[in-house]
Chains A and B, each alone.
Chain A
């Protein structure tokens, strides 16, 4: 089963509204990252939150992390049509002598103009 699972699987909103995506995971993590993927393109890193942080902001993005609940959320405020994409959470955990990154299944966001 997936280490990171996002919900909802798909989200459709109007331009200007906020979009919230959630990610749950199973094991202890070093950090959690969010990525965006536009159709036909590779993933683009958005934001990283460390396991000892609770909230982080970057422009219109706000990420929270609750390690007691093993969950994170990504909030995009004042959404734009250009935010239409798939969003993935990636959990980074220690594995062997290094680190392993496991991506969730993603949330497909559609922002209507």
Chain B
């Protein structure tokens, strides 16, 4: 079965460091989503790409977060500088456009701890 691949699976670093998370969407999928999951806030949408173009990044703190899709096989989410409150599990999901009637396929996430 095709899967969304996220790397790294775990990341522990000190505050102030740059963090880069990577996602390989399922081949042929043209939408990519970045989510952040915490116990307090649940699953929050950070950014959404269609055909590699950012459509919605209103959920992302712009001063320190950035999301890009350098090509159709790679999406990245960067945090610089990182802060302890960024500790969370970050999920990437991919899917197909289709009037909204398409499921999202999730990776297994990057568990990020900022000390």
**Contacts of B50 on A, CB cut-off 8 Å?**
98
**Contacts of A94 on B, CB cut-off 8 Å?**
100
The one of A30, A40, A41, A45 in contact with B99, judged by C-beta atoms closer than 8 angstroms, is A30
| Interface core residue of B42, B56, B105, B107 (most chain A CB under 10 Å) | B42
A47 to chain B, nearest CB (A): 9
Chain B interface, >50% SS class? strand
User: Which residues, 97 to 115 on B, are CB-close (under 8 Å) to A?
Assistant: 97, 99-101, 103-109
Q: Which residue of B lies closest to A102 (CB)?
A: B45
Interface size class of A (residues with CB under 8 A): 20 to 34
Instruction: Answer whether A42 and B91 are a contact pair too, CB < 8 Å, given A33-B103, A50-B101, A98-B50.
Output: yes
**Contacts of A41 on B, CB cut-off 8 Å?**
108-109
Q: Is B55 an interface residue (CB 8 A)?
A: yes
**Complex: A2 Cα to B42 Cα, angstroms:** 10
User: Which residues, 86 to 100 on A, are CB-close (under 8 Å) to B?
Assistant: 88, 92, 94-100
The one of A44, A101, A104 in contact with B42, judged by C-beta atoms closer than 8 angstroms, is A104
Asked whether, in the complex, the Cβ of A99 is within 8 Å of the Cβ of B99, the reply is yes
26 A-B residue pairs with CB within 8 Å: A2-B42, A30-B99, A30-B100, A30-B101, A31-B100, A31-B101, A42-B91, A42-B93, A42-B107, A43-B93, A43-B104, A45-B104, A45-B105, A88-B43, A94-B100, A98-B56, A98-B100, A99-B99, A100-B45, A101-B33, A101-B45, A103-B35, A103-B42, A104-B42, A105-B42, A106-B42
* Given contact pairs A42-B93, A98-B55, A102-B45, a sample of 6 additional A-B residue pairs in the complex whose CB atoms are under 8 Å apart: A97-B55, A98-B100, A99-B100, A101-B45, A101-B100, A106-B42
